[in-house]
Structure 1
């Protein structure tokens, strides 16, 4: 297999990089999924990829939240939000909407049957 030109340089940079997600946590989940890896650079590469994914999810969720804040005040009140509250508060519903765009399925627990998220999800 051909090795991409920048891969060795990237792996060398990862030697000194400390990702947000600890190596131990990434290694644990790699082992749980059946992949044992002794190269800490590869573990860090997976950590960086996971960190990037989490960042995208968070940014997209913030955008959904901002879009909700731009809804007409009447609609915000109907959905149970205070239109005068200027804070951006990301809700579980915002996160679920984004995760569904990424292909994740969400099942509403039975004790939330009456919640907004239970409709058609």
Structure 2
């Protein structure tokens, strides 16, 4: 199986000379059929109905990251697709990722300021300061190492 997969990958890699990846649904089956069970048309439609509903919801979703920016970085990375829903999906995933990092950094900032002598004054004004240490700790949870430039050491 691995040899057939690697030969199919080398024949249909989807990468052209301009380093862009073309995604087409004709190369990949939506439902893998096994020899033991037959998938009927109604069962396949029931299985794909949540996916179709999700794709329709993508059209109405608002993202903080504009689609044009997401498309720019996708193309810069070599990804090319004519489906705007894929761009919207990547945009929403990037927004979620950034939101999770910001929330974790806020939690680290709250933990750090909770033990300081200035905590009573900060609770009255609700001011928290995001430091690089808080951001480094949050990014470390996701496997991202952020280092200061050498002239700051």
Summarize the alignment of residues 1-121 of structure 1 with structure 2, pairs less than 5 Å apart: 1-2=30-31, 5-73=49-117, 85-86=121-122, 87-113=127-153
Q: Contact (CA 8 Å) 1:11, 1:42: kept in 2 or not?
A: no
User: Where does structure 2 lack aligned partners over 5 or more consecutive residues?
Assistant: 1-29, 32-46
- 1:4–1:104 distance in 2 versus 1, CA, 3 Å: farther
| Structure 1 position 18, deviation (Å) | 2.4
Say how many residue pairs are matched. 105
2: CA distance, partners of 1:102 / 1:85: 32
Q: Contact (CA 8 Å) 1:61, 1:95: kept in 2 or not?
A: yes
Corresponding position of 1:118: none
TM-score using structure 2 length: 0.62
2: CA distance, partners of 1:5 / 1:71: 51
User: Where does structure 1 lack aligned partners over 5 or more consecutive residues?
Assistant: 74-81, 114-121
Moved more, 16-25 or 84-93: 84-93
1: CA distance, partners of 2:55 / 2:132: 36
2: CA distance, partners of 1:8 / 1:14: 10
Pairwise CA RMSD = 1.8
TM-score using structure 1 length: 0.77
| Structure 1 position 38, deviation (Å) | 1.3
Larger Rg: 2
1: CA distance, partners of 2:49 / 2:103: 31
